[in-house]
Amino acid sequence: MTALLITVDTELSASLHQRGMSLVDNVDRSIWARTRAGAFGIGWQMDLLDRHGLKGVFFLDPMPALVHGADFLAPIVGAIVARGHEVQMHIHTEWLAWAKDSPVGDRQGHSIGDFSLDDQIILLGHARRLLEQAGAPAITAFRAGNFGANDDTLRALATLGVIWDSSVNPAYLGHGCGISADRAQIGATRAHGVAELPVSGIEDRPGGFRPAQICAMSAAEMRAGLRHAVRDGHDAFNVVTHSFEMLSRDRQRPNSAVIARFEALCREAARLPGVRGAGFNDLSTDLADRPARPLSRAAPSRLRTGMRLAAQAWATWRYEHRLVPA
């Protein structure tokens, strides 16, 4: 069966912090995605996953603890663990700009890959301790904020005993992601001592790549990608979203277009034979050591792509420019 990993980058907003937003409001907006119309963050996401018998992987960024202290982490970790979903490690090193006591002194960088190997080991080890001290089970997987990892990130993870990485997004290779990976890589592979599972996707044009991200792919494209993965015998289909992704960009209102895509993915996964909901702890790292198999992504469809472009144009006008209640 094809393991469906629905991964949620769960993070506070550094830009909202920079604009003076309090920790409480940032957590409300960015993690729980609370609006006047209701909450559409990780609680809502877990409700939806639970209704369809699926599992979420919440890549949680603990770096704001360097600014605000670590107390805010435990309620988030506790809510995820209590529901039977996974907490894994995420990191946005932008927070070092405001850190009261940085583990790497005055050294800063936009992404984890901007640091030396030694500093990456320190930062990743510190982030893991913060999560596990907040109640997370042993961390076994990582995704870099901004997908901004490099080969030293994988070496650092191997040094720390973190066995999975999911920082390869083919759309970012050479554009922020410095991992030496093949853009055509689909299945898990072994790289620098860790098992690398890239973000899944489809071809939206010949030779092109559209990542399987809820806000980036239409429901029809996601359905085509998942069905193709099952038919083609993929071990896993790795989907990305964010804790705040169901909201408009100003995080004031729910975006019903993106919400509908997430709901459609969960319905399709629940009824599609050959799909099982999974986290990284449900996967065997043996997948990364198997001989390479010829795998492909769903082929382009002008109709699907055209319909997504039209829908996105409408959604941008509806949710990002018009100040009307959703």
Q: pLDDT tens digit string along 167-183? A: 999 999 999 999 999 99
In sequence order, the 6+-apart residues with CB closer than 8 A to the CB of 210 are 171, 201, 202, 203, 204, 216, 217, 221
Domains and CATH numbers, the chain: 2-321 (3.20.20.370)
The span from the CA of 155 to the CA of 110, in Å, is: 19
CB 168 within 8 A of CB 136: no
The span from the CA of 175 to the CA of 178, in Å, is: 8
The span from the CA of 121 to the CA of 137, in Å, is: 20
CB 255 within 8 A of CB 326: yes
The span from the CA of 57 to the CA of 99, in Å, is: 27
What pLDDT, on a 0 to 100 scale, did the predictor assign at position 311?
66
Beta bridge partners of 136: none
What pLDDT, on a 0 to 100 scale, did the predictor assign at position 326?
32
State CA 52 to chain mean position distance. Answer: 20
pLDDT tens per residue, range 98-117: 998 999 999 999 999 999 99
What pLDDT, on a 0 to 100 scale, did the predictor assign at position 250?
85
In sequence order, the 6+-apart residues with CB closer than 8 A to the CB of 145 are 9, 11, 61, 90, 91, 92, 93, 94, 111, 112
DSSP string, 40-52: -SHHHHHHHHHHT
DSSP string, 21-70: --HHHHHHHHTS-EETTEE-SHHHHHHHHHHTT--EEEEE--TTHHHH-S
Tell me the pLDDT of the chain averaged across its residues: 94
What pLDDT, on a 0 to 100 scale, did the predictor assign at position 310?
65
- pLDDT per residue of the chain (326 residues) written in tens, 0 to 9: 999 999 999 999 999 999 999 999 999 999 999 999 999 999 999 999 999 999 999 999 999 999 999 999 999 999 999 999 999 999 999 999 999 899 999 999 999 999 999 999 999 999 999 999 999 999 999 999 999 999 999 999 999 999 999 999 999 999 999 999 999 999 999 999 999 999 999 998 888 999 999 999 999 999 999 999 999 999 999 999 999 999 988 888 999 999 999 999 999 999 999 999 999 999 999 999 999 889 999 998 777 766 666 666 666 666 555 444 33
User: How many residues are there in the chain?
Assistant: 326
CB 296 within 8 A of CB 84: no
The span from the CA of 73 to the CA of 130, in Å, is: 8
